[in-house]
Amino acid sequence: MKKKLITAILFSGLFFETKAQNVPLPTLDKSPLSEKKEYIETIQKTTFNYFWDFAHPVSGLAPERSATPNVVTSGGSGFGIMCVVVGSHRGWITRKAAVNHLLKVTKFLAKADRFHGAWSHWLDGNTGKVVPFGEKDNGGDLVETAYLVNGLLVARSYFDGNTPDEVFVKKPDYQTLGRRGMGLVCFQRR
């Protein structure tokens, strides 16, 4: 019962229409940099640069590690999507560049392998096929999918413009993204 409840909570964002709460974004602090603020700025910008500069050229997703550049990670990509939102907000990239990147990501994810709605931990960045995480772990990963979907929901909330591209990012068909096979998100015990 507990596992079913946790699964339902994790994936509720896939099936229920959510509306942004129209909470204004914090304004950027334009005051002179102190040592502490400069340090935080450096960490934030470096984190953004990792996800932006090393995004897979085909999928736009985050690499699992530099030694295996074609293997991308679903959960890490959720954090990368949030970094793209921050990069756009902070002016490190243009809003249009961020939207174009997210279009690449969402179009790739729509075609990538899923298991009753859940993406695997690792994917081939060119094809979207599963790269097994282990001998008995070659299917959907709930935790990684939750991180990925959280990033998508952040992007959906932030990109609220009326251009066709932003509408595509803002209103992905989560019903379709979350469904495969029998039209349900369900997981089997092994």
pLDDT digits (tens, 9 = 90+) for 19-67: 455 556 666 666 777 888 899 889 999 999 999 999 999 999 999 987 7
Which tokens sit at 48?
Answer: 């953004």
Of the given ranges (7-16, 22-31, 109-118), which has the lowest mean pLDDT? Answer: 7-16
Cβ proximity of 87 and 123 under 8 Å: no
Pairwise pLDDT comparison (143 vs 67), residue with the higher score: 143
What integer pLDDT is reported at residue 186 of this predicted model? 39
Average pLDDT (139-161) is 91
CA 55 to chain CA mean position, Å: 12
Check: CB of residue 104 under 8 Å from CB of residue 110: no
User: Quick one: 59 exposed, middle or buried, by C-beta within 10 A (0-12, 13-18, 19+)?
Assistant: buried
Taking the CB of residue 147, how many other CB atoms lie within 10 A of it?
19
Instruction: Please give the average per-residue pLDDT across 161-169, as a whole number.
Output: 82
- 118 and 68 Cβ atoms separated by less than 8 Å: no
Burial class (CB in 10 A: 0-12, 13-18, 19+), 116: middle
- The least confident of 5-19, 143-157, 165-179 is 5-19
DSSP letter, residue 140: B
Hunting for tokens 């050229």 — which residue is that? 57
pLDDT tens for each residue of 116-131: 889 999 999 999 999 9
Whether pLDDT at 179 is above 70 = no
- Other C-beta atoms within 10 Å of 19: how many? 6
pLDDT at 160: 86
